[in-house]
Amino acid sequence: MVDLITFVLLSFSSIVIVLNPLAATLIYVSLTDSMDRPTRIRVAYEANRVALLVILVFAVAGGAILQLFGISLEAFRVAGGILLFGIGMEMVYAKTSRTKMTATEKYESIDADDVAMMPIAIPMIAGPGTITTVIVLMNEAVDIGIEAMGAILLLCAFVIVLDYYMMKNADLITKYIGPREYRVIGRLMGMILIAIAVQFVITGLRQAFPILVGGI
C-alpha cells in the first residue's frame, strides 16, 4: 500500500511538471489573444481532448510500440531521463522547452485557422517529454499492479482536465501570474524534474546493468 501511494505521488508530480499546465496556458494565451472567448474555449477543449487521446494511447500501447521497434524499457528509461533532464534545465533557465514548441511552430501558428491540433495539442501538451514519462510510468506500474496502472490513466485525465480549466480561465490566471512569478515557479519545478530525470536514468542503468547495483 505504501509503495502504491509513493508511486502515485511520484507519477502525479512527474506528469504535472513535464506537462506544465501553467506554461501551456501562457503560450495558449499568446496564440489565441486575437480570438473571441467562445472560440478560445473551443480551442482549449479540442486541444486537450486530442492531447488526452494521444497520451492515453501511448500509456496503454507504449510498451508494445517499444517492442515493435526492438527498444528495451531500460534503454527507453535512460533516454527518457536524459530528455527530461534537458527539459528541466531549460525550465531552470526560464526557457520554453524546444520539445514543446519551436519558434517556427509558434510563428506559423499565428495566422493558422486551427491551432488546437498543432501546436497546442501536439507538441505543446502531448509532447515527447509527456509521452516518454507516461510510457515509463505505465511500464513501472505493471510491476506494482492493476491499481497502479489505473492510477496512471486517471492521473493523465486529471492533469488534462486541470490544463483545460486553466486555459479556460487564462484571463484570470494571467492577472495574478506574470513573467516574474512564472519564472520562479518554473525554476522550482525544473529542479524537481531534474531530480526525477536522474532517478529515471539511475533506475534504467540498474536494470540494464545489474552489476552496477552495488556501485550506484
> Residue-wise pLDDT tens for the chain (216 aa)?
658 888 999 899 999 988 889 888 888 887 888 788 899 999 999 999 999 999 999 999 988 888 888 888 788 888 888 888 888 888 788 665 555 555 555 555 444 446 888 778 887 899 888 998 999 999 889 888 899 999 999 999 999 999 999 999 988 888 887 777 777 877 888 888 888 888 888 888 887 787 766 554
pLDDT of residue 206: 84
- The whole domain housing 74 covers 2-212
pTM: 0.79
Q: Cα separation of 99 and 51, whole Å? A: 15
Which residue type occupies 76?
F
Q: Let me know the angle formed at the C-alpha of 126 by 119 and 5, rounded to the nearest 5 degrees.
A: 155
Report helix angle 146-168 to 21-32, nearest 10. 30
Query: What total of structural domains would you count in the chain?
Result: 1
